[in-house]
Amino acid sequence: MVLSSSLAANSFELRLLEATSNAPSITVILSSPVLRSASIPETLLAQGGSGCSRLVPNAPPTADAGPDQTVMGGATVSLPAAATDPENDPITYGWAQLSGPPPASSFSFNTGTGELQFTAPSKTNAVQAMTFEMEANDGTSIDTDTVDVLIAANQIPVPVVGPAQSVGAGQTVNLDASASTDPDGDPLTFSWSQLTSGTPVTLINGNTATPSFVSPTVTSPQVIDFQVSVSDGLTSDLGTIRVTINPNEPPTVDAGPDQNVSGGDTVNLAATGSDAEGDPITYQWLQTAGPSVTLTGGNTATPTFTAPPRAFNDQTITFEVVASDAGGAGPSDFVDIIIAGNQAPTANAGAPQNVAGGTVITLDGTGSSDPENDALIYSWVQVTGPTVVLTGANTPTATFTAPPRTNSDQILEFALTVTDVFDASSSASTTTTVLSNNLPIADAGADQSQVGGSTITLDGSGSSDPDGDAINYTWVQNGGPLVVLTGANTVNPTFTAPTATSVDQILTFDLTVDDNATSGGAGSGARQAPSSPQQDSVQITILANTAPVADAGTDQGPIDSGETVTLNGSGSTDPEGDSLTYIWTQIAGTPVTLTGGNSVSPTFVAPTVNGNEDLVFALRVNDGQLDSPVVTVTVSVQAVGTVTIIQQLVGGGDTPVTFTSSVAGLNGIVNTVSGTGQISATSVAAGSYSVSVNDLTGQGFALTDITCNDGDSVANIAGRSVAIELSPSEDLVCTFTSVNSREAASAAIADFLTGRNALIMSHQPDLQRRLDRLDGQSAPGGSASAFGVPVPGSGALPFDLSIVDGRASASTSLSQVMGIASGPDRTESDFDIWGEAFFSRAQLGNQRASFQIFHVGADYRISENLLIGALGEFDNFNDRDDLEAGEAEGNGWMVGPYVMTRLAPTLFAEVRAAWGKSDNRVSPLGTYTDEFETNRAFYSGSFVGQFDLSKRTQVRPELTVRYLDETQIAYTDSLNVIIPEQRVGQGDISFRPRVQHRIELESGWTLRPFAEVEGIYTFGTSINNVLENGLRARVEGGLDMLSKNGIRASIGAFHDGIGADNFGSTGGHVSISFGF
């Protein structure tokens, strides 16, 4: 807009040079000074092609420079600029210093905010004022405001020197003004000086807060005053302190108590000094008497020395100690150290002894001692008694041989003298008594009664000698039938008794004993005494003979047929102990063959019998002269058989199995190995019995069968028992079969869920439709395809048709029919409803099944970069035949939201979550089926790129991570076994590059054939017979069809399971969507 300059001063012509329909209003800014004045008429108009506008004069801004400020010298000052303008015109700011000292730094001006910054000048002893003016300019008018900045004046520091001090002469005195302060926090300097009073001293570090000096030596108390000047660089103040110097008092010392020590000891001296002023003390020791020694640490309070060696008499050493401080030495003190002299040893010859003649005697002086533990010299001498030869008379333990015994005691006395290294000695004595001889006592033993022919032992061991001397024995027969003594000069001679007769026979023997050494007793020299034989006698009675007594043992049985039986005649006896002969005979029952019929214990094999039978045997014994009366024994024989119980566990796993039976041998625990274990009982009497097994359903096993190898035992599976009938000699075998339905069901369900979940995750809706939605692509009408190949011209059909692998599917909708007929262009529709279905034949291990999955959803395009929606899916896995062992089938559903967003022009991301349930049937063993349910949760995330290879050809790489978490709910199966809850969580990572080509038809349709290869890695599952190592590939090809009336459709054929031997899925899929 321009104003012409040719008009009068109070009127203006406004001419609109350029205008558009988007600028219906006119804004005029008059910048001429005359127009800013208040004399502009209010009727000033601007005339344009569509009317007139009133021109209003500018309203000036109002400036605000902020409040006055008081700052410290050197501080950073910020002056904010503020202003208001009635028309909200943009404002510019400017600053000018009107008065006061210049700043310590250059000004810093912020053109955006108008703020002014600078550093305040250094403070002085007076307040400084700086005045600034701020200008606010709205482009037409200017307003100003002023602000004052005051720099605070300096404050005087405060000296603090502490209290007066009183010290001794020669001490280091520390002065301290470090507590001084400055109100402004300025750094301080210090200057100390001594005032005129007192002896001059030298201050060390007199220009610091903490100087020091050494107090002078004085004879009377003296006062010294000091002054310190504390400055902050501008001003200063003074402080004073008084120090009183006191005359020195010498220290006192105590050399410690006298000590008694031994030669060679380490002696510790200990002086204790004190000083009235607390001055440091030094010590000096001096030996003044006694044998010379070397002091270690003689100038310390605690010197040491080694005591001189021990002498015959006590030795005394005297030491003097002096304590000194800085002022000089104080009085000394003395201490005596006494080294004890030698002490004589103490002799100990040992206790008196009573000994036998001829023995080796030891004299013991080891009890002798020396107070100083000196080595001792020993000397033994005989004082009285029969002379003996001392061996080791100069050792602590001398020995000698005692003289032979006599008729009276002999006393020998010995003296021991011990001497130490200082030739001091002492003596002691001891006695040894050799006891006199005592006569031995004869004892021929007790009278005996024996049988004829036996070996008889005479016993003189009861004879004794009071002195313990060896005894000589002499046996002589003096009555009865003559016998031959063997060992007549020993303590225990023997002879053979004469043959028994009808009457008793008596034999008499005399025993003579003596301790005469010449007869070979204790040896020559053991004693000196005359021979003194002693006698005793004994009587032996040979008893008359009597008949033996037979004993055939106790009755036996019942004994099992075929068992070896041993008869026992060992209980037969003979009163005289004569040797016996045995004669056994069978007198009743089925004849048997006795082995060893003339022995004490013959044997035979129990015969086979029906029922029970008694066999009777007779025994007669003979002692060589007389027969015994005949006795009998009965052996009861019974018919028997064997029973074996076998436990078989089917379905994997081992567990202890407990059997309870009326047969004792069948009560016990069977530990199965590789699913089989058994327990047996042999020699079981024929008859009726029962066997039952414990309930194993808690361990997952159910009893399914009981069979026996006979025809008369009766099984009761419900009662987990069998009633057995055991015939004679029968080997009965019963087999209990239990199946591990828990493990079989859990494994079958896990494999089934793993495989079906892999199918569900790989049969997810194609993301291309959602990409097309964000790109605004058209969708087609109907379609038809056969085995993945589209039928030309089928886009005009009002339905979708697909024929794959012998299966056909078709779908349509009212929207589709209307759209094909003549629908409007819905390419840009924000709301879309879609459906997609997959039909395939699947392989999970050995199981062949059909699998269908249907997806129905709706989404809303919020913008070209964001799409949100929700979908529901229903899947059905149906076995082609009847379920076999380890197979399952079922159907389920999930619903949940999804979001797709455009991250970049050719990069998209999609996330999805869904939750649902499933109903299923499983046949763990192939003999029955059970129903079970699961809860599901599905999550997936994808990154999709879409890149042009040419104008009409694109490549669409897709990276997807999917995870399906399915929990099987616990249930009780048909065998009453609880199948516990289990969780199968698995995911896969998929990379799927897709190539597609766009064909636009003249009819407005767009065809887009595509092909893709997908690599899938499954994680989260253990290796199983379905997914093996988790790696496989999937291929798909098909055709997308889009039309501008908002309908999109796709058909395709696929094969999943390349590289997986036990997993596969082949089929086709169709999809359709409608935009609104």
Note the pLDDT tens digit of each residue in 944-956: 999 999 889 999 9
Question: What per-residue confidence (pLDDT) applies to 44?
Answer: 43
Q: Is 979 left (phi over 0), alpha (psi -120 to 50) or beta?
A: beta
pLDDT, average across residues 737-766:
90
Structure tokens at 250: 């010498």
Question: Fold for domain 253-337?
Answer: Immunoglobulin-like (2.60.40)
Q: Is pLDDT larger for residue 517 or for residue 246?
A: 246
Residue 436: pLDDT band by 50, 70, 90 thresholds?
A: confident
Q: Which of 594-598, 673-677, 836-840, 1039-1043 shows the lowest per-residue confidence on average (mean pLDDT)?
A: 1039-1043
- Name the β-bridge partners of 980: none
Question: What per-residue confidence (pLDDT) applies to 980?
Answer: 94
pLDDT, average across residues 524-536:
58
pLDDT at 367 over 90: yes
Could you name the CATH architecture of 556-638? Answer: Sandwich (2.60)
| pLDDT tens digits, 269-305 | 999 999 877 778 999 999 999 999 999 999 999 999 9
| pLDDT tens digits, 56-65 | 678 999 999 9
pLDDT, average across residues 428-444:
89
Q: Is 753 left (phi over 0), alpha (psi -120 to 50) or beta?
A: alpha
- Name the β-bridge partners of 914: 938
Rounded (5°) CA angle 694-697-699: 95
Structure tokens at 929: 């089926």
Question: Fold for domain 353-434?
Answer: Immunoglobulin-like (2.60.40)
Tell me what the pLDDT averaged over the chain comes to. Answer: 84
pLDDT, average across residues 755-771:
89
Q: Tell me whether domains 353-434 and 743-1075 share a fold.
A: no
Residue 12: pLDDT band by 50, 70, 90 thresholds?
A: very low
Decide: 971 and 980 in contact? Cβ < 8 Å: no
- Break the chain down into helix, strand, coil percent, rounded to 5: 5, 50, 45
Question: Which CATH code fits 165-246?
Answer: 2.60.40.10
- CB burial of 684-698 (b: ≥16 within 10 Å; e: otherwise) equals bebbebbbbbeebbe
Rounded Cα distance between 977 and 655, Å, is 15
Rounded Cα distance between 184 and 155, Å, is 6
Report the percent of the chain where pLDDT is more than 70.
87
Considering 368-377, 608-617, 963-972, the range whose residues carry the highest mean pLDDT is 963-972
Question: Which CATH code fits 743-1075?
Answer: 2.40.128.130
- Separation in Å, CA 678 to CA 415, 669, 685, 711, 891: 91, 9, 20, 21, 44
pLDDT, average across residues 8-12:
44
Decide: 752 and 888 in contact? Cβ < 8 Å: yes
pLDDT at 970 over 70: yes
String of DSSP letters for 863-897 = ETTEEEEEEEEEEEEEESSS--TTEEEEEEEEEEE
Residue 965: pLDDT band by 50, 70, 90 thresholds?
A: very high
Residue 1047: pLDDT band by 50, 70, 90 thresholds?
A: confident
pLDDT at 238 over 50: yes
pLDDT at 8 over 50: no
Question: What per-residue confidence (pLDDT) applies to 649?
Answer: 87
Question: What per-residue confidence (pLDDT) applies to 674?
Answer: 87
Q: Which of 46-50, 87-91, 445-449, 656-660 shows the lowest per-residue confidence on average (mean pLDDT)?
A: 46-50
What is the pTM for the complete model shown? 0.43
Cross-sheet strand order for the sheet of 472-479? 448-451, 534-543, 505-514, 472-479
Q: What is the Cα 543 distance to its own chain's centre?
A: 85
pLDDT at 792 over 90: no
pLDDT, average across residues 300-323:
92
Name the one residue in this structure whose structure tokens are 């039909």.
839
448-543 to CATH, choices 3.40.50.300, 3.30.365.10, 2.60.40.10, 2.40.50.140: 2.60.40.10
3 state SS of 856: strand
pLDDT at 779 over 70: no
Determine how β-strand 731-740 pairs with β-strand 721-726.
unpaired
Rounded (5°) CA angle 422-428-433: 150
Question: What per-residue confidence (pLDDT) applies to 70?
Answer: 92
pLDDT at 52 over 60: no
pLDDT at 782 over 80: no
Structure tokens at 119: 């550093």
pLDDT at 30 over 60: no
Question: What per-residue confidence (pLDDT) applies to 783?
Answer: 52
pLDDT at 28 over 80: no
Question: What per-residue confidence (pLDDT) applies to 620?
Answer: 94
Q: What is the Cα 1030 distance to its own chain's centre?
A: 33
pLDDT at 776 over 90: no
Residue 1059: pLDDT band by 50, 70, 90 thresholds?
A: confident
Decide: 434 and 467 in contact? Cβ < 8 Å: no
String of DSSP letters for 404-427 = PB-SS-EEEEEEEEEE-TTS-EEE
Residue 641: count of CB within 10 angstroms of its CB: 20
Residue 356: count of CB within 10 angstroms of its CB: 18
Phi, psi of 769 (to 5 degrees): -60, -40
Structure tokens at 675: 């699913």
pLDDT, average across residues 453-479:
89
Report the percent of the chain where pLDDT is more than 90.
50
Residues 62-151: name the CATH superfamily.
Immunoglobulins (2.60.40.10)
Residue spans per domain, the chain: 1-57, 62-151, 165-246, 253-337, 353-434, 448-543, 556-638, 640-729, 743-1075
- Separation in Å, CA 315 to CA 308, 342, 350: 9, 11, 35
Residue 523: pLDDT band by 50, 70, 90 thresholds?
A: very low
pLDDT at 516 over 80: no
Cross-sheet strand order for the sheet of 668-671? 668-671, 656-661, 687-693, 721-726, 714-716
| pLDDT tens digits, 115-165 | 999 999 988 888 999 999 999 999 889 999 999 999 988 889 999 998 999
Q: Which of 349-353, 468-472, 672-676, 1002-1006 shows the lowest per-residue confidence on average (mean pLDDT)?
A: 1002-1006
Decide: 395 and 418 in contact? Cβ < 8 Å: no
Q: Is pLDDT larger for residue 981 or for residue 28?
A: 981
- Give the contacts of 654 (CB within 8 A, at least 6 positions apart): 671, 672, 673, 674, 675
Question: What per-residue confidence (pLDDT) applies to 558?
Answer: 83
Question: What per-residue confidence (pLDDT) applies to 128?
Answer: 92
**Segment holding 34, helix H or strand E:** helix 33-36
Q: Which of 30-34, 559-563, 1057-1061 shows the lowest per-residue confidence on average (mean pLDDT)?
A: 30-34
| pLDDT tens digits, 638-653 | 877 889 999 888 877 7
Residue 1024: pLDDT band by 50, 70, 90 thresholds?
A: low
